[in-house]
């Protein structure tokens, strides 16, 4: 689990085939002294496992599915990535809960300056915007961001100078592709409200909503 608060950047130093997937060598700009083989890292939003570590350099394996769903399918040597180590339960959540499981990708359609901020408009499939709301959270290339506006097939975010300076978002321009993970809470709510597979027709036909009576019945309150 991650928070969407990027700890530093890394650069792809090497790419080689590994079965049907790929193995990437990453050079981080910060020390990985507390990271060990087998640890999870968020690399531009994708949760991947460190399989080799040597100083600031480490290697990760990328599966065929991840190559297909994320921007790693088009990754190139020299490309910079956002890096975040997995959170601990004792950590503060300064961003929002991020699983590192990418839902899809988006394309930057517009970049404009507004005072000291940069407004990015990103085009995405409607299957992603259904889990977005204005002032809600979204992880873009692993960065926890607040949604400014949200329409059927695009949304916008405001990037402050600090975020632009410390993450890859500062390099993004029109036409660039980014990894998108929508807020997991919305997915769980939809799952709960729509009913679970295998439920009887009788149960499925019941109105699905949460009220005081339901909370009492299920034991959440006395």
- Judge if 31 and 78 occupy the same domain: yes
Specify if 95 maps to a domain.
Answer: no
Mark whether 115 and 178 lie in a shared domain: yes
Q: Do residues 81 and 109 share a domain? A: no
- With H, G, I as helix, E, B as strand and everything else as coil, classify residue 116: coil
| Calpha distance 69→210 (Å, rounded) | 34
* Statement to judge: residues 63 and 14 lie in one domain: yes
pLDDT digits (tens, 9 = 90+) for 154-171: 999 999 999 999 999 999
Among residues 56, 85, 114, the one where a domain terminates is 85
Q: What is the pLDDT of residues 15-37, one digit of tens each?
A: 999 999 999 999 999 999 889 99
| pTM for this model (two decimals) | 0.85
Number of domains in the chain: 2
Once rounded to an integer, what is the mean pLDDT over residues 81-98? 87
Q: Which domain holds residue 68?
A: 8-85
Average pLDDT, the chain: 90
Same domain, 165 and 136: yes
Residue 158 lies in a domain: yes
In a domain, 221, yes or no: no
One domain, residues 108 and 179: yes
pLDDT number for residue 108? 98
CA dihedral angle for residue 192, residue 141, residue 83, residue 28, rounded to 10 degrees: 160
Instruction: Please tell me whether residues 123 and 65 are part of one structural domain.
Output: no
pLDDT band at 205; cut points 50, 70, 90: very low
Q: Which of 50, 85, 120 is the C-terminal boundary of a domain?
A: 85
Let me know if residue 217 belongs to a domain: no
CB 116 within 8 A of CB 91: no
Same domain for 73 and 142: no
CATH number, domain containing residue 66 = 2.40.30.20
Beta strands in 117-199 (DSSP E): 117-123, 137-140, 143-150, 154-159, 177-182
| Contacts of 207 by beta carbon, 8 Å cutoff, 6+ apart | none
203 inside domain: no
Q: List C-alpha distances in Å: 61 to 33, 68, 71, 81, 173.
A: 20, 14, 14, 15, 28
């Amino acid at each position: 689990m991650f928070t969407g608060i990027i700890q530093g950047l890394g650069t792809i130093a090497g790419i080689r085939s590994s079965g049907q997937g790929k193995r990437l060598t990453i050079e981080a700009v910060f020390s990985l002294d507390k990271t060990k083989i087998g640890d999870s890292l968020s690399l531009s939003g994708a949760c991947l496992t460190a399989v080799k570590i040597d100083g600031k350099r480490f290697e990760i394996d990328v599966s065929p599915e991840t190559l297909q769903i994320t921007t790693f399918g088009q990754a190139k040597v020299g490309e910079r990535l956002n890096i975040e180590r997995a959170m601990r339960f004792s950590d503060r959540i300064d961003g929002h809960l991020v699983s590192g499981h990418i839902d899809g990708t988006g394309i930057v359609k517009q970049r404009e300056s507004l005072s000291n901020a940069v407004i990015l408009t990103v085009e995405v499939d409607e299957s992603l915007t259904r889990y977005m709301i204005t002032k809600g959270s979204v992880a873009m290339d692993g960065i926890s961001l607040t949604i400014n506006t949200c329409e059927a097939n695009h949304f916008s975010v405001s990037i402050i100078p600090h975020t632009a300076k410390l993450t890859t978002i500062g390099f993004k321009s029109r036409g660039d592709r980014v990894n998108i993970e929508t807020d997991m809470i919305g997915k769980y709510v939809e799952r709960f409200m729509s009913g679970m597979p295998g439920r009887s027709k009788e149960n499925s036909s019941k109105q699905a909503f949460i009220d005081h009576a339901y909370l009492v019945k299920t034991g959440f309150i006395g």
